[in-house]
Amino acid sequence: METKALDIRADADHAIVWRNDRLYLLDQRLLPGEEHYLELHAADDTAVAIHDMVVRGAPAIGITAAYGVVLAARRCYAQSPSGWRDLMAHDYSLLARSRPTAVNLFWALDRMKRVADGLSAGDPEQRLLREAGAIHQEDVAANRTMGDLGAGLIKGSTSVITHCNAGALATGGYGTALGVVRTAYAAGKIAMVYADETRPWLQGSRLTAWELARDGIPVTLLTDGAAASRMAQGGIDWVIVGSDRIAANGDVANKIGTYNLAVAAHYHGVRVMVVAPTSTVDMSLASGAEIPIEIRAPSEVLQCGGRQVGAGGVDAWNPVFDVTPAELVYAIVTERGVVRSPDRENMARMMAG
């Protein structure tokens, strides 16, 4: 991977860019202090970028992986015009192992593989590039639709709490949870967004606040442990979050700390809205107990900004996600519609169209 200066404004709506036959990613690890793009040339570069959180957020991971398949096809076809499909098996595997929880990754890889398997003789790159571009643009359109649907649930003017980053940086553009925030704010329905810092990667303070400040949307940071106290002060009607995987019964996997937030919201009479495209819904899993939860290195908890903050000899448990039971969720918003009081029957009805 190489650092490149692109002739575009580094912003959340251009976090994933295909240009000059290359994939460029805005390196989210450096935000908000530095705005740099990495140039990716191959599927293994793409897998490393996903794993190392250059890009993160379930929809954005899926889009990035789709472009990674295009890079894989280019290399494999150059090596063997007749055997490129067989060579790509290794690249599919690399991409699939990059992050285990975000189901959008596997959804995008399966979609790209179906296209590749259906191609006749000839160079597959351009056809696969069109499919990756379609996945990208469909996600942006879905976010706009979800923004309208979610904003429609908010009555009057209120303040909201969000956790992690489910904005344009985590998607193809506009955002899921922050897409609702953007649309609702434009309609005069949101006075303030309270963003949890979201340890240990601080996506709330580094990414969500960066996005909202650029859009001129009022945002105030909270430490993760301050959300319940802020709810107790009043004026908060909604918690609005994204998701990395939703089970068939409506259980929701999202960034670690979401479950805590939902429990506090339930106690204080605050409604929880989960905003995610249907590519995040995994109807093959009966409940959240079956969702694989990624565990990352203890050093991410024991350090902050490269500085050791944990006592020597102390271990850390570092799950990246937790599962919020469906009964704590007021509504799941997808591009196909809103599921209130999510359960197996309501989720199945929505997924059936």
Query: Residue 91 catalytic?
Result: no
Q: In whole angstroms, give the CA distance from residue 30 to residue 142.
A: 28
Per DSSP, the three-state class of 205 is: helix
Alpha-helix runs per DSSP H in 15-124: 43-51, 58-79, 84-96, 103-117
Choosing from 244, 251, 282, 322, the catalytic residue is 244
CB 220 within 8 A of CB 193: yes
Q: In whole angstroms, give the CA distance from residue 67 to residue 100.
A: 18
Task: Give the Cα-Cα-Cα angle 230, 235, 241 (nearest 5 degrees).
Answer: 70
Tokens of 103: 């189901």
CB 128 within 8 A of CB 85: no
Q: In whole angstroms, give the CA distance from residue 172 to residue 280.
A: 14
Tokens of 133: 């571009």
Q: Please give the full DSSP string across 281-318, using - where no structure is assigned.
A: EETT-SSGGGS---B--THHHHEETTEE-SPTT-----
Residues taking part in catalysis:
244
